[in-house]
Structure 1
Amino acid sequence: MKTSYWLAAACLAASASSFANEGFKPIAVSDQELGELRGRFVMPGRIISFGIVMSSTWRNASGDLIGATSSMQIQSSTVKPQFYVSTIKQTGNGSTPTQGTGNVIGGAGLNSTQGVTQSVRAAGDSNTAYNDVGINVTQSSTAPALAPAQGQVLMNGQTISGSNGAGSVAISSFSGGVQMAIQASNNQGTALQQVAQSGLLQNTTLLGNSNAVNNQTLLNVVLNNNINPGAGASQNLNQLKGLRNLGY
């Protein structure tokens, strides 16, 4: 039964024995080769749907709210990946918050980090700030139906903006990423959320009082559960053969 698998296992065992006698001979792996390994933890064709939803909001002491949401969903039927953006504006009680007098020093390096970076720096009182990243992974034999597009298409190099009593928000698209930036009025502070090739950044700086800030990003991934187990085993064996060719 499964003669080919037993034969492959025997060959691998023999190879391991031979290497044990000769000793492992490590070889250098170039940066280019390492870069090509990125994202190989999921079998090719396994992801049948990928979506991202970003939301950033700032509510000041008067109840004024400024913010934006951005979403994108990719499937095999997607002609061109596009972000759709909607600005958020709400009016509070009409009063003007007290001018922020806080001062935060440093932090320039936060904008040049890689991976996931979340930062909240406060120099005021009675503030709340929330940075959150969620990953929702499900399995299905078919991709979910594409949700109706809502908002304005964000083209590469374009900026969509809006403002009210709470401040201003700007959503920008650049090569390899999307950024949401909020500049609160009356020197209350700033909020920044960015998804790019180097990672995810959520950064909030509070200089005034009684502000509520939310930065949220949700990644939705659907994996195909209708795959051929035999094909996966065969591909794993081929990858092991490749190690032998590299000198391991």
Structure 2
Amino acid sequence: MKIPLWLALTCLAASLPSHAQVLQPIELKDQELANLRGRYVLPGRIVSFGLVMSSTWENAKGEVIGARSTMQIQQSTIKPQFYVSLIDEKGTGTASTQAPGTGTVTGGNGLNSTTGVTQVVRAAGDHNTAYNDVDINVSRGNQAPASEPQGQVLAAGTQLVGANGAGSLSVSSSGSGIQLNIAAGNNQGSTVQRLAQGGLMQNTTLLGAGNQVRNITSLNVVLRDNVAGAGAMNGNLDQLKGIRTLGF
């Protein structure tokens, strides 16, 4: 009775291709792994992807300058776009004047060539506060959060500017990402937040006293519980491909 079973197993083993008999994993080189980074994200489960970036500078007089940039991609998104809202607040602090910054910071040329997430605070003053933060929020649901775009559209190759007593601001998009740059008035320092070419930079330099600086980036992803069909997968893949034109 055992002979037919043994004969069937023997024939089945002989019918398998040679590469299926022995597992021989192939090791990927570091360069190949680098090319795969961030490209495979289960597109069938992505309901929406949102990005929020904000940079603010508050001086000792309570004057605030900054900007908030948002982008959201979902099923109905045709072309990903950044929307920018400028922040301009009058002074509410107790200090009526602010002494010019006299600090000096040297070095740091290599910071412009870093990859990944780079967060830097360099201070040459007193009583300052600097905050760099990156949040990644993943939630589950079948619908994208309801939200209306606010602010001005920032097209590739364009720039939005603003200024007040706290300093001057520029928000620019070169087609390879977005950058928020603040040059504080009265030689108090500067800050830049840049998202481009697969990397995030948050860099603050403080030369004066009594300043509060914040650079915050939030990535918000909504995943559905049940994997969608092939049609929905293709739609989400098209959305993600649209981000590549912005440098991500």
Change in 2 beyond 3 A, CA 1:27/1:83: closer
Q: Helix, strand or coil: the match of 1:170?
A: strand
* Contact preservation (8 Å) 2:44, 2:227: no
Answer with 36-45 or 47-56: which moved more: 36-45
Shifted more, 192-201 versus 157-166: the winner is 192-201
- TM-score, normalised to structure 1, is 0.78
Q: Are 2:203 and 1:203 equivalent residues in the alignment?
A: yes
**Paired residues of 1:54 and 1:70 also in contact (CA < 8 A):** yes
1:144 and 2:145 are equivalent in the alignment:
yes
Q: Which amino acid aligns with 2:182?
A: I
Q: Deviations over 1:139-161 (max 9, x none)?
A: 1123333x111111001011101
Q: TM-score, normalised by structure 2?
A: 0.78
2:127 partner letter? S
Match of 1:102 in 2: 103
Residues in 2 aligned to 1:90 and 1:220: alpha-carbon distance in whole angstroms: 27
Alignment-derived partner of residue 153 in structure 1: 153
Q: Which blocks of at least 5 consecutive residues in structure 2 are unaligned?
A: 1-11, 229-248
Provide the secondary structure at the position in 1 that maps to 2:111.
helix
What is the alpha-carbon distance in structure 2 between the residues aligned to residue 164 and residue 204 of structure 1?
19
Do the aligned partners of residues 124 and 36 (structure 1) sit closer, same or farther apart at CA in structure 2, a change above 3 Å counting? Answer: closer
Residues 11-66 of structure 1: CA deviation (Å, up to 9, x unaligned):
79x967635xxxx58677594x5455232553232212000011100011111111
Say if 2:193 and 2:215, in contact at 8 Å, map to a contact too: yes
Structure 1 equivalent of residue 46 of structure 2: 47
In the alignment, which residue of structure 1 is the partner of 2:22? 18
- CA deviations 1:185-244 (Å, max 9, x no partner) are 01000000011123110000000001000000011001121127xxxxxxxxxxxxxxxx
Sequence identity percentage = 58
Label 1:100 to 1:34 Cα distance change in 2 as closer, same or farther (>3 A): same
CA contact (8 A) 1:140 1:226 kept: no
Matches within 5 A, 1:1-248: 18-19=22-23, 29=29, 31=31, 33-34=32-33, 36-92=35-91, 95-145=96-146, 147-227=147-227
Opposite residue 72 of structure 2, the aligned amino acid is: Q
Opposite residue 206 of structure 1, the aligned amino acid is: L
Name the SS of the counterpart of 1:103 in structure 2. coil
Choose 94-103 or 119-128, whichever is displaced more: 94-103
> Contact between 1:70 and 1:85, CA under 8 Å: does it hold in 2?
yes
* SS of residue matched to 2:110: helix
Structure 1 range deviating more: 113-122 or 90-99 = 90-99
Residues of 2 paired with 1:202 and 1:25: CA distance?
Answer: 40
CA distance in 1: counterparts of 2:206 and 2:220, whole angstroms: 30
Aligned residues: 213
